[in-house]
Structure 1
Amino acid sequence: MRTEVIDPNRCIDPDKFPFITVTWHNRLLFFPAMFTKPIRKKTVAMVSSSRDGQYVTDICGLFGIKCVRGSSSKKGFAAFTDALEVLNEKCNVSITPDGPRGPRYKMSKGPIALASM
């Protein structure tokens, strides 16, 4: 798999600034492979607290990605505050903005709210 980061103004500097990534729910399988090992070590994924979310957490762990558990329907506020704390610690956060229940490809407000804090 090949990935490409388009950053003509060189705004992304993971050594200086944390960033938030979003991955559509049906593309989640490719998420751990999108980043180099140093970036994965500084990335925390927001994962559903459901039983299926445990599978995602286990796979992320194999790639060195830590997880915070929660979603819009379960433990959402706790996961949001955990993600905010991660950003304040200069680590990156990854979020699935559309969730398993959908609607597919419709962005939730969570990533924007997190970025604006």
Structure 2
Amino acid sequence: MARTVHLYLKVLFLTSKIQVEIDDGAKAVLESQKTCFVALWHGRILIFPKIMQEYGFFKVLTSIHNDGKYIDKFINLYGHKTIRGSTYKGGMSATKQIVKDISNNKRIVIIPDGPRGPRYKVNSAITNIAAKFNIPIIHVSFSSTKVKILNTWDKFMIPLPFSKIFVNISLPVYFKERNEQKLENLMLEQMQALDSICEIQV
């Protein structure tokens, strides 16, 4: 399954026009190889492993559920590593690993509405950890002019070949305290802006 998706992305990137807009501050943070969090909605994760290879490798927090195993294999094909668990209920082991990775200057990817939703709701302690260790959060999203939307809880988006795909990598955001609503609003605004661009392009 993971290799099939990997092959599909090769075809997608060969046939599609990919436009990446990255904030200068985000580029500086990513190129510095210093610790940061990267936040993605569950339904918009498909092209992340390929897009972010330009900035090195990341540690990705994945679910302890069965679907996490498939994501692990897929992520590993691009050289990224995984952390199994959650930063929400019962996620002490994952949180301890994240804290350890922070001390080792790892860049960590969090999917704040995973693994089961609700869709587009931040149910992770990411902003709390970010505030405690003064770590910036960069949120990433994409949209496409030609897509297949799966009938799943997250409305998983699959860009189709010969599309125009727009990617946005946001400015780094620092939190002084836990604030899930602020992160949620920023990520929603980003996603909606990209969807609007694609609607105009069609």
Q: If the length of structure 2 is used for normalisation, what is the TM-score? A: 0.51
How much identity, in percent, do the aligned residues show?
28
1:5 pairs with 2:13? no
Alignment of 1:29-108 (within 5 A): 29-40=46-57, 43-71=58-86, 72-73=88-89, 75-108=90-123
Checking the alignment, whether the CA contact within 8 Å between 2:61 and 2:108 is kept in structure 1 is yes
Give 1:78 shift. Answer: 0.7
Give the gaps of 5 or more residues in structure 2.
1-17, 133-202
Q: Which has the higher contact order (CA 8 A, sep 6+)?
A: 1
* Larger strand proportion of the pair: 2
Q: Tell me which residue corresponds to 1:18.
A: 35
Q: If the length of structure 1 is used for normalisation, what is the TM-score? A: 0.83
May I ask how many residue pairs the two structures share in their alignment? 114
Instruction: List per-residue Cα deviations over 1:85-110 (Å, max 9, x = no partner).
Output: 11110110000000132111112242
Give 1:28 shift. Answer: 1.6
Give 1:16 shift. Answer: 5.4
Structure 1 runs of 4+ with >4 Å offset: 8-11
Give the gaps of 5 or more residues in structure 1.
none
